[in-house]
C-alpha cells in the first residue's frame, strides 16, 4: 500500500509520512532557515525532484522545488500558493495570492498580471494543458467573472454575454468546455462556442460535475425546470435508471472507458450508487440507504462511502464493505479518497467516537490515531 502523507507537521506527523519526504523537509528547513509548520501537498517529478506546498511559521503557504522555497515570484512576495502543477518540461505552474491582495497565475518565475490586455486582480480555477495552454476565470468587474484561454478573454459564448464560469477543462482534442453563467439565464454547459441550453428539449437551469468523457462527449448533472438534478451524457438525460425515477444526483463522473457512475436519490428517499444503467442497491449483501464520495479507482473499481440501514457510514471497494476494525464497528467515515495504487484512505470513527486515519486496499488495513 502507498504510505500517504496527510498534512505532515513536526508536531503532529499525521498518517505515516516516511523516509525521503521527512528527510527532505528537514533539509529544506536547514537550507532555507525557515521553520516549516506543515506540509500540505507533495509530488515527485519524473526526475525525482520533490515539489509541494509548505506552511511557514508566519502562516504563509509557499511552494518549494527541491531545496528551494518560492517565497517570491516575479519579485512579489507570496502569501498563499495553491493549485500547483508542472508542465512536461518540469516548469512549476499554479496560482499565488500576493501581499497586495491580487490572486494571479504564474508560470515558473513569471506572474501573468495581464490577460487580454486587462490587468488581473483575481484569477481562479486555473489549470494547464500539457502544451502549456492556460485556462481559468478572471474577475473583470465586481460580480463578473470571465473565462480565458491563454491571453484571450471569452466574454461571450454562443453570442451570449458571460457572467461567471465553472468546471472549465480541456477536452481530449484540446477544445475548451465547462459551465458558464449567462447574463440572461442560468448556468449552462458549453463546448467551444456552443451552449447546451436544452437537453432532450428540456431547459437547463444549472449544471454540476460537468466533465468530458474520453470520446469528447460532455457528461455531468443538470437542474431541470421541475427542480430535479439528473445525470446527462451528451444530449441524453438519465431521468430513470432501472426503471426508477431520479430526483437528485451527485458525484457523477466517468471511467476511462466512458462508463458513467455516481449517486442518485430515488423517489423513496434512498441515495444509491450507480454504474452505467445499474443501481447498486446492495453492497456486500447489505441494503444501501445513502452514499457519498463515490468514485472510480485507477483500475476501474468503484469505491466510496455508504450508509447502511443501521445508520452507520462505512467505506467500500467494489462489493466489499469495511464495517469493523479489530472487532469494533465503524460508525462514520470522512475525507475518503483513493490513492494511485487503489488503496483508499480517510478518517473513520469507531464506537465510542474514537477517530483514526486509515489505509485499506480491500484486504489489508492500517490505522493511526488522530
Question: Quick one: pLDDT at residue 85?
Answer: 84
Question: How far apart (Å, rounded) are the C-alpha atoms in residues 286 and 222?
Answer: 30
Residue labelled with grid coordinates 498534512: 7
Q: Is the backbone of residue 357 left (phi > 0), alpha (psi -120 to 50) or beta?
A: beta
pLDDT digits (tens, 9 = 90+) for 198-212: 999 999 999 999 999
H or E element that contains 21? helix 20-32
pLDDT digits (tens, 9 = 90+) for 344-363: 999 999 998 899 999 999 98
pLDDT digits (tens, 9 = 90+) for 22-40: 677 777 787 788 888 887 7
Question: Quick one: pLDDT at residue 22?
Answer: 67
Residue 188 phi, psi dihedral angles, 5° rounding: -135, 145
**Quick one: average pLDDT of 103-117?**
91
pLDDT digits (tens, 9 = 90+) for 175-195: 999 999 999 889 999 999 999
CATH class of the domain whose range is 158-279: mainly beta
- Determine how many CB atoms are found less than 10 A away from the CB of residue 175: 14
H or E element that contains 324? strand 324-325
Q: In this model, does residue 4 exceed pLDDT 70?
A: no
Residue labelled with grid coordinates 489549470: 127
Residues of the chain with CATH 2.130.10.150: 158-279
For the chain, the straight-line distance linking the first and the last C-alpha, in angstroms and rounded, comes to 20
Residues shown for the chain = 370
Is the pTM higher than 0.85?
A: no
Q: How many CA within 13 A on the CB side of residue 174?
A: 8
Per-residue confidence at 52, pLDDT binned at 50, 70, 90? Answer: confident
Amino acid at each position: 500500500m502507498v504510505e500517504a502523507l496527510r498534512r505532515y507537521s513536526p508536531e503532529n506527523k499525521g498518517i505515516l509520512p516516511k523516509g525521503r519526504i521527512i528527510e527532505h523537509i528537514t533539509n529544506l528547513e536547514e537550507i532555507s532557515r525557515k521553520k516549516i509548520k506543515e506540509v500540505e501537498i507533495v509530488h515527485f517529478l519524473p526526475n525525482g525532484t520533490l515539489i509541494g506546498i509548505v506552511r511557514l511559521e508566519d502562516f504563509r503557504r509557499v511552494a518549494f522545488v527541491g531545496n528551494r522555497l518560492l517565497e517570491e515570484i516575479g519579485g512579489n512576495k507570496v502569501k498563499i500558493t495553491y493549485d500547483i502543477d508542472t508542465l512536461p518540461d518540469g516548469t512549476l505552474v499554479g496560482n499565488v495570492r500576493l501581499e497586495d491582495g491580487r490572486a494571479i497565475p504564474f508560470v515558473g518565475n513569471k506572474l501573468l498580471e495581464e490577460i487580454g490586455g486587462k490587468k488581473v486582480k483575481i484569477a481562479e480555477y486555473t489549470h494547464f494543458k500539457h502544451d502549456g495552454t492556460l485556462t481559468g476565470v478572471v474577475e473583470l468587474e465586481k460580480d463578473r467573472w470571465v473565462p480565458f484561454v491563454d491571453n484571450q478573454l471569452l466574454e461571450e459564448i454562443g453570442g451570449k454575454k458571460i457572467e461567471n464560469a465553472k468546471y472549465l477543462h480541456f477536452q481530449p482534442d484540446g477544445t475548451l468546455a465547462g459551465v458558464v453563467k449567462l447574463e440572461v439565464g442560468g448556468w449552462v454547459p458549453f463546448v467551444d462556442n456552443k451552449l447546451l441550453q436544452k437537453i432532450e428539449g428540456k431547459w437547463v437551469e444549472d449544471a454540476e460535475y460537468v466533465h468530458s468523457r474520453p470520446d469528447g462527449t460532455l457528461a455531468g448533472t443538470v437542474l431541470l425546470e421541475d427542480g430535479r438534478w439528473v445525470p446527462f451524457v451528451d444530449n441524453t438525460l438519465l431521468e430513470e435508471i432501472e426503471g426508477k425515477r431520479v430526483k437528485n444526483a451527485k458525484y457523477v463522473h466517468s471511467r476511462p472507458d466512458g462508463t458513467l457512475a455516481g449517486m442518485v436519490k430515488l423517489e423513496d428517499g434512498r441515495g444509491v450508487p450507480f454504474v452505467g444503467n445499474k443501481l447498486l442497491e446492495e453492497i456486500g449483501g447489505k441494503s444501501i440507504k445513502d452514499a457519498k464520495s463515490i468514485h472510480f479507482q485507477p483500475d476501474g473499481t468503484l469505491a466510496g462511502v455508504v450508509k447502511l440501514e443501521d445508520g452507520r457510514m462505512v467505506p467500500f471497494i467494489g462489493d466489499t464493505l469495511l464495517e469493523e476494525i479489530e472487532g469494533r464497528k465503524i460508525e462514520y467515515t470522512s475525507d475518503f479518497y483513493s490513492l494511485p495504487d487503489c488503496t483508499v484512505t480517510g478518517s473513520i470513527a469507531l464506537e465510542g467516537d474514537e477517530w483514526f486515519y486509515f489505509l485499506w486496499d480491500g484486504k489489508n488495513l492500517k490505522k493511526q490515531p488522530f
